[in-house]
Structure formats: C-alpha cells, structure tokens
Chains A and B, each alone.
Chain A
C-alpha cells in the first residue's frame, strides 16, 4: 500500500522569496516519486521525478526536491519564487516496476504575491 500527504493545502510567498512545498509519503517498498504542476486551465506537467538514483533531483523552472528516506519526505523547493510559479502542485508516489497507477496527494495551491 502507498499514500502521500501534502502538508499544506495553500502556500503564499512573496516574489523573490524561497518556496517550500511539503510532501510525506508512505510506502512498503522503495517508490518512485514525482512532482507535477497544474496551471489554471492547463493539463498536468511533470516538474521532476525521483527513481532511486540521486537523492537531490533537479527539475524544470528552477525547482528541485530532495528524497529523504529516513523522514519519508520529498519536499519541493525553489530558491526564488516567480509570479509564473503560481499554480497547484501535486506530489505523487508510484510503486516501482508496476504498470499500475500513481497515487496523488491532495495538492498545494501556491500563490505568489508581488
């Protein structure tokens, strides 16, 4: 069984300040982990993924995430927020070696203030 918890449903930051979106997962095996972003009226876009290689994963648009097995966390960070980062972000877990589905977190709405 697997599950994923996004600890904040809404996060507000000022433009130019760091972004931290928190994600904890539960899995009985070594999972694959993803972050997806969804801008208003757009489809989901993959930001980055962790698949048991380097624990610090770099994604698109300056985002990165660190896999911490001891804390079962996969938090998403960005050093400096941009207005275009305002969107909904989903943390996702998937069992390895399986054609089955992803399990999505409930999402975090990121607001960037000018």
Chain B
C-alpha cells in the first residue's frame, strides 16, 4: 500500500514563527498536494507539485510556500504563522493523471 506520512500529528506554534510541515510518500508518485481542511469549507488546495522542483499555486496560496527538492518529499512552509492559519493540513499524492489520490493522516496546526 502507498503510504503518505506527515511528520507531525499536532503542532502548536506562535504567531510570527516560521513553520515547516513535512510530507513523505513512498511510492514514487509524481504529483503531490497540500490542502487545508476547515469545518464547512471542505478541503481547499494550497499548492501542488507535479514533479521535482515544480510547483503550482492552488486556490489559497497566500501566506504559504512549498518546496519539492526530492520526489518523495513535499514541504509546506508558513513563512510567518498567523492565527487564521490554524487548521488541519492534509498532504496527498498520486502517480499521475487518472489515478487515485492517497492522503496522509493530517497535521492539526494551532497558531497562538
């Protein structure tokens, strides 16, 4: 089975801190995605990457950046955390077009 692993299950950070959320997949998938999940809003795409060093903005990229230096790892960076970035963050990967997505278990980030 494909595994998508998010390094932290829960994180508490202070306003203004730089935050790194890490995601690793073990099946050589080309595409990787970062979503945030908020009640009543479903999942919204922050950024995605279709190859190493490639990235594209999703629907809500403001306040975030990403890094994909290796195929298996896709990092989400909050340059200066704010309280409105308190959310559940989900990473996903898939092999390519037409294939299913595999999601990680999520990181619940609280910014105080």
Contacts and interface: CB of A to CB of B under 8 A. Distances in A.
Contacts of B48: 99-101
A17 B96 CA distance: 38
B27 interface: no
A16 B58 CA distance: 41
B47 to A, nearest CB: 10
Interface stretch (A41-49, A63-71, A72-80): A41-49
B106 A107 contact: no
A104 B43 contact: yes
A43 B42 contact: no
Contact of A104 (B4, B42, B50, B98): B42
Interface residues of B, number: 27
Contact of A106 (B42, B50, B100, B101): B42
B100 A101 contact: no
Which of B40, B48, B103 gathers most chain A CB within 10 Å? B103
Given A101-B48, A101-B58, A43 B97 contact: no
Nearest to B49: A99
Contact of A44 (B44, B96, B98, B103): B103
Nearest to A4: B42
Given A43-B103, A46-B101, A101 B33 contact: yes
A43 B15 CA distance: 27
B100 A46 contact: yes
B42 A107 contact: yes
Contacts of A43: 4, 90, 103-106
Contacts of A96: 98
B5 to A, nearest CB: 10
A102 to B, nearest CB: 7
A64 B105 CA distance: 24
Interface of B: 4, 30-31, 33, 35, 40-45, 48, 50, 56, 58-59, 90, 92, 96-98, 100-101, 103-106
10 contacts: A46-B101, A49-B100, A97-B97, A99-B96, A101-B33, A102-B45, A102-B101, A104-B35, A104-B42, A105-B42
